[in-house]
Chain A
Amino acid sequence: MADAPEHAPKAAAPTGPVEPAPPADAAIPAFITALQNGVSGSVAQLSLYLGDWTVVVPVSHLLQASQFLHDNAGCAFDYLSDLTAVDWPPRAEGRFDVIYMLYSTRHRHRVRVKVKVAENTPVPSVTSIWPAANWLEREVYDMFGVNFSGHPDRRRILMPEDWQGYPQRKDYPLEGPGELLMENPIDWLKLRQAREEADIE
C-alpha cells in the first residue's frame, strides 16, 4: 500500500486491514494448533498484532471451526465477547470482515476469528453455538446488511423496521439519507450529486 500524501483531497479508500503474520519466533498458542489439526483447512491466515491473535477462517468452515473452538477442551471458547463487521468496499475478495471476539472463561485466553465475505454471501449463524450471537448478528445485519443464514430472528434491531440502506457501510452518508431517500432514492442521488458539484464550484 503506497503512502498517500498528507492532506490529499481524496485518498484512495483502503482495501483491507493490515494483518501482520506472526514473527518466526512467536510461540503459536496451543488452541490455534489444535484448531489447525482438528478442522483441516480452517486456518486460512494467521496474524498477531499487539498481542491479539486473529484467525482468518474460510466462510465454508466457519460453523465447523466455531463448534470445535467451543467444544474442544484445550480451546473452550465458551464466551462470545463481541461480534462485529468491518466494511472495506473496494476489496476484491468480498467487502466485509465479520469478526468474532472469543474468550474462554476456563483458560482465560482470547482469539479473534474473522471471515471475509462478499455482499450477498450468506454467513452461517453461530446462534446455535453461542446464544449471545443472536442480537449481535441482528445488529450486524441491521448496520451492514450482512446476510446471516439460519438465524432464528433476523430483523433489524436498532433502526426502524422499514429503514432503507445500511448505516454503517462506508458508502452510506454520515448526514443520513433524509426524507427523500426513503421515498425516492433516485431523486436523492441526483440531488446529492448536484450538491457535490455546487460544493466544488
Chain B
Amino acid sequence: MFDTSELVINMGPQHPSTHGVLRVILRLDGEKVVDAEVVIGYLHRGIEKLSENRNWTQIVLLTDRMDYVAAATSNVGYCETVEKLLNVEVPRRAQYVRTILMELQRIASHCLWVGTHAMDIGAMTVFLYAFRERELILDLFEEFCGARLTYNSMRIGGLPQDIPPGWDKKVLAFCDIMDGKIDEYETLLTHNRIWLERTKGIGVISGPEAIGLGLCGPALRGSGVARDVRKDEPYSAYAEMDFDVPVGVQGDTYDRYLVRMEEFRQSLRIIRQATQGIPEGPIVGKVPRLIKPAAGETYHAIESPKGELGYFIVSDGKSTNPYRFRVRPPSFCNLQGLPRLVRGHLVADVVALIGSIDIVLGEVDR
C-alpha cells in the first residue's frame, strides 16, 4: 500500500539561515525532524595553532577574528587572561572603559541577533530597525579605535588610547535613544501572534539538561539557570555594577528571546553606571616591555554575548609566545545542543532554533 521511509536532506553549508557556513544533515519523517547531524569546520583557520606561533601582543588581533560580531569582548577576555598570568593590575579607568565597550558590544551583538532571528522567522522589519541601532554603536567604536568590525581595541595591561573627548556624552545619548528602540522591537515581536506561534514551545530544554549539555549564556539562562560569569566570577568593573541576571522559565525559544531582550536593558543600565562613574587616572598598568609571563597555566572566563568565553593559556616562561593557547568558544558548546533541540520539530523550526542559540561560525570553527 504505502511505502514510508526516512528522507535525508542537507541544509547548508551555503544557506541564508545558517548564519555562516554551517551544514546540518536532517533525517526527516514527513516534515518532522527525526535526527540531525551538525557538520562544522568550514571556517577553520587554525587560530589556536597560529597563536602558539605569534607573540603575546600579536594575538589580540587574532582574537578579533573569532566572534567577529563581538570582537571587543574577545579582546578583553584574552588580555585579562594574560594580565592574570603576568600579575598586572589594570587601572580602574581602563576597567571601566572596558566594561562600557563590552556592554556596547553585547547590545550590538544582540541587535544583530534579534534582526537575523526575526528575519529567519519572517519578520523583515525588525532586521532593518535593529541594524539601524547597531550602526550607532559601530560609530561609537569607530570614534574610539578607528575600526568598525575587527577592533583590535585592547592592549595587555589596559587600553590603546584614552577615550576621545565627549565620547562618554555620546554613549549616554545613545543609551537614551536605545531605550525607546528596545520597546519598538518588543512592540513588533513580543505579543505578535505569528511570533508566539513560531517560538513558544519550540526547542524546550530543562535546566539540568542544559547544564549537562554545556549550554551557556542566554541559551542556558532561558532554561532558568541563573549562571552569568559577570555575577558569579566578576571581572573588569562588574563587581561594582548593579544589574540583574534575567532568567527564563520554560526553556523554549520564546524564553531565550525574552532573556536577550531583558539583557539589552540590563546592558544599558551597566553602561549608564559605568559611563557616569569613569574614574580619572592612567589607562595602562605597569606592563613589562617584553611580555613574557612566568611559566604556568591558567583558565579565565568572561561572559561574551553568546555565553562563557574562556581562555586557557600555558606559558613556558622562556619564549615570547604562548606554549598552548586554547579558547573555549561559547558558540561551539551551544551548537552542540542543536540536535537535541530540533528533534521532533518541523523543518521550519530548525531555522528558528539555529537563530535562537545565536552562533557565530567564526568562533565555532576558529
Binding site for B on A (CB under 8 A): 1, 3-4, 11, 14, 17-18, 20, 49-50, 52, 78-82, 84, 86-87, 99, 101, 105, 108, 110, 112, 130-132, 134-136, 143, 156-160, 167-168, 172, 174
Interfacial chain B residues near A79, Cβ < 8 Å: 211, 214, 227
Q: Are B44 and A159 in contact (CB under 8 A)?
A: yes
The answer to whether B227 and A105 touch across the interface, beta carbons within 8 angstroms, is: yes
A174 touching B53, Cβ below 8 Å: yes
Q: Which 9 A-B pairs have the closest CB atoms?
A: A132-B214, A82-B328, A158-B41, A18-B295, A14-B316, A158-B44, A86-B324, A135-B336, A84-B326
Q: How large is the interface on B (under 10, 10 to 19, 20 to 34, 35 or more residues)?
A: 35 or more
Docked Cα-Cα span, A158 to B38, in Å, equals 11
Complex Cα gap A172–B314 (Å): 18
Q: Which residues of B lie under 8 Å from residue A4 when comparing CB positions?
A: 318
Give A17 to B46 CA distance when docked, in angstroms: 23
- In the bound complex, do residue A81 and residue B211 qualify as a contact, i.e. CB atoms below 8 Å apart? no
Indicate which residue in A17, A80, A99, A174 contacts B214 across the interface (CB closer than 8 Å).
A80
Contact call B299/A101, Cβ cutoff below 8 A: yes
A168 to B317, CA, bound (A): 20
Q: Which residues of B contact A112 (CB under 8 A)?
A: 299
B217 at the interface (CB under 8 A from A): no
Tell me if B297 is interfacial: C-beta within 8 Å of chain A. yes
- Check if B318 sits within 8 Å of A14, measured CB to CB: yes
Q: Which residue of A lies closest to B366 (CB)?
A: A158
Least CB distance from B3 to A in Å reads 30
B213 within 8 A of A: yes
Could you pull out 20 A-B pairs where Cβ atoms are within 8 angstroms? A14-B318, A17-B297, A18-B294, A18-B296, A18-B317, A50-B84, A50-B298, A52-B298, A52-B299, A81-B214, A81-B301, A84-B312, A105-B211, A105-B227, A130-B214, A134-B336, A135-B332, A135-B333, A158-B40, A159-B41
User: Do A81 and B310 touch (CB < 8 A)?
Assistant: yes
Known contacts A132-B333, A157-B40, A157-B41; A101/B214 CB under 8 A: no
